A and B are shown apart, each in its own frame.
Chain A
Amino acid sequence: MTELALTSPRVLSSRRVLSGALAVGALAAIPTIASPFQTITICYGLVFAIAALGFNLLLGYTGLLSFGHSAYFGTGAYVVALLVKYLGVASMELFVVAGILGSAAVAALFGVVCVRYTRIFFGILTLALSQVLWSLALKLFWVTGGSDGLRVPTPTLLGGLGGPGADKVEFIAHRYYYYVLILFLVATAGMWVIVNSPFGKALQAIRDNETRAEFVGVQVWKYRWIAFVISGAFTGLAGALWVPLNGLTTPDILYWPFSGRIVFFTVLGGFRTFIGPIVGAIAYNYLETYAVGFTVYWQLVLGIVLVLLVLTMPTGLVGTAMQLVERVRRGR
């Protein structure tokens, strides 16, 4: 019955499964073949990739450009830091669950307001609300540490591994890396199912034509809201995974330029493809890491990359690569 199968170019083909398996294998081998510095850089990239997957559920699949995703990343991070500060929690599993729940709750609240609008109004609303959290994190210093932020010690994984006192670099470049990798794979698989589910199709329908979606019986605001909450939860998971890596959370990750960064790496990879945001996040993180190490004018480097990207490669790295492959194939 292959003829009757719904066409969906994104559904698993054996070639896709194979290249996916190769990529996972390569990622799993990194701590054994690369330096700790490289491994940690990739680890940051994977964390940002989770955030980008969440963000792109809104941009690529629902057609909503959020300029306030720092709010959910930051909520994930601050929930962890506050658990450490007030409850002395050290369990990474608790951090992950709390980070997801906390950011989902914030997204549920903000989402009610935001999903009624689209385009630039949606962007500015998400931005304004994220800045409420930023200013609170900055000003309520007796709770949040103000601009100094809050420190987060090395957590314990699965109830026993790691924990305070372990050698930090060694811990992060090995055990924590695999922890992040597994959650990244789970998040990727989960998001892949979501975007290919009937619900995911409904989101794409809303993206393409809101009015018509309403008239085939998709309740637009409700679906957008659910997408918003899921998006926030993924981004919050990324925030929770990011704090132990960074060892510190400051209001900077709630400030709006960080939201801009999430947009940046998603578009860098290409928001019209599923893996674009993942590639973009990892590539961006490399770019930023090296630009920062190379010059104090790293923002200039990133800015020029972004300007060139918008002017010459609007479909991003993955989109452009796909076009090239297509052209080569046709050429033969």
Chain B
Amino acid sequence: MDTLLTQILNSLFYASILFLIASGLSLVYGVMRIVNMAHGNLYAIGAYVAAWTIGLASTELHVSLLFVLLVTGALAAALAGALIEPAFLRPLYRRAEEYQLLMTFGLLLVLEDVMRLLWGPHPLTASALSDALGSISVLGATYPAYNIFVIVIGALAAVGLGAFVYRTRFGVMLRATSQDMRMASALGINVKRVYVQAFTLGCLMAGLGGAVVMPISGAVLGMGVDALILAFVVVVIGGLGSLEGALVGALIVGFVRTLGITYFAEVELAVLYLIAAVVLFVRPAGLFGRA
């Protein structure tokens, strides 16, 4: 039953990455009602910055310290988010949502090429991290330890984000704003600040996702565009704006992908998109969304 276990772990690995991307996308939509098409690029920024800093430091620092540098990817994405929201999105809140969508599409194009400009057309990677951990034996199956590390990060992120949104004062403000922006504003919540914080937090999650996936799949141009659509599938299944939904959606997509790669590789992606379309058709608010 080694293969079964491996399959399950692979699914959890996918799900972790997907959750990191999708939870940010969903959080931003939930609070600000903006579907950020550039979200995948913030994930890519996380990957590039982590690969870059680790590449710079790899000769100087011990491997264990390089793991800490993964955080730079998340921080870089968060910084980008903190700049993007006030400069490019804030002027558009009163406009029709077409413009918000187009703005984020424009940012997608810009960010894509900024990464090409900064890091060139060739992929960056830091496989030293995944190599350093080697493989471990899980219930008799050998499995890359780095993937387990990613699964743990994903799980911690889910718990941490949940605690943050449901247990802290900031979380209360976040949820109040997402329920009813005007009411929240009337209650004295600084909506502007909540928006920029929520957007930054969403980008931080995406950047973290990109950073931790990088030692495995590298930092590649186009990774953001590909990831965005999978993140869409996740949030559509789970429900736009719902964190629980992002988690369940990520698990569903993770498992379907693993199954798909094994049994129906040709139509694996098509099946995922169809699942998303069917869920949206039957339950437009997703499995966990508010109507």
Contacts and interface: CB of A to CB of B under 8 A. Distances in A.
Direct contact between A and B in the complex (CB less than 8 angstroms)?
Answer: yes
B277 A125 contact: yes
Contacts of A65: 97-98, 101
Q: Is the interface of B mostly helix, strand, loop or mixed?
A: helix
Contacts of B281: 113, 116, 125
Given A131-B229, A264-B105, A119 B97 contact: yes
Contact of B99 (A136, A260, A298, A310): A310
B236 A128 contact: yes
Contacts of B240: 120
B105 A129 contact: no
A96 B106 CA distance: 33
B19 interface: no
A5 interface: no
Contacts of A129: 273, 277
A113 B102 contact: no
Interface in A119-146: 119-121, 123-125, 127-129, 131-132, 135-136, 138-140
A256 B35 CA distance: 15
B113 A132 contact: no
A305 B95 CA distance: 19
A250 B111 CA distance: 24
B105 A263 contact: yes
B79 interface: no
A314 interface: yes
Nearest to A300: B113
A82 interface: no
Interface stretch (B45-53, B182-190, B205-213, B263-271): B263-271
A140 B109 contact: no
A140 to B, nearest CB: 6
B103 interface: yes
Contact of A135 (B111, B114, B270): B270
Contact of B116 (A123, A140, A297, A304): A297
Given A128-B277, A306-B105, A310-B92, A139 B266 contact: yes
B109 A131 contact: no
Given A117-B284, A128-B236, A310-B106, A296 B276 contact: no
B103 A310 contact: yes
A297 B110 CA distance: 9
Interface in B32-82: 35, 37
B241 to A, nearest CB: 11
B111 to A, nearest CB: 8
A71 B93 CA distance: 30
B290 to A, nearest CB: 13
Contact of A299 (B109, B268, B280, B284): B109
A213 B17 CA distance: 45
Contacts of B280: 117, 121, 124-125, 128
A257 B270 contact: no
Nearest to B102: A310
A202 interface: no
Interface in B241-291: 265-270, 273-274, 276-277, 280-281, 284
Contacts of A296: 116, 121
B67 to A, nearest CB: 33
A120 B236 contact: no
Contact of B269 (A116, A120, A131): A131
A131 B273 contact: yes
A305 B106 CA distance: 8
Interface of A: 59, 65, 67, 113, 116-117, 119-121, 123-125, 127-129, 131-132, 135-136, 138-140, 256-257, 260, 263-264, 267, 296-300, 302-307, 309-311, 314
Interface of B: 35, 37, 88, 91-92, 95, 97-99, 101-103, 105-114, 116-117, 121, 225, 229, 232-233, 236, 240, 265-270, 273-274, 276-277, 280-281, 284
13 contacts: A113-B281, A119-B97, A120-B240, A125-B280, A128-B280, A129-B277, A139-B270, A257-B225, A299-B113, A306-B109, A307-B106, A310-B103, A311-B91
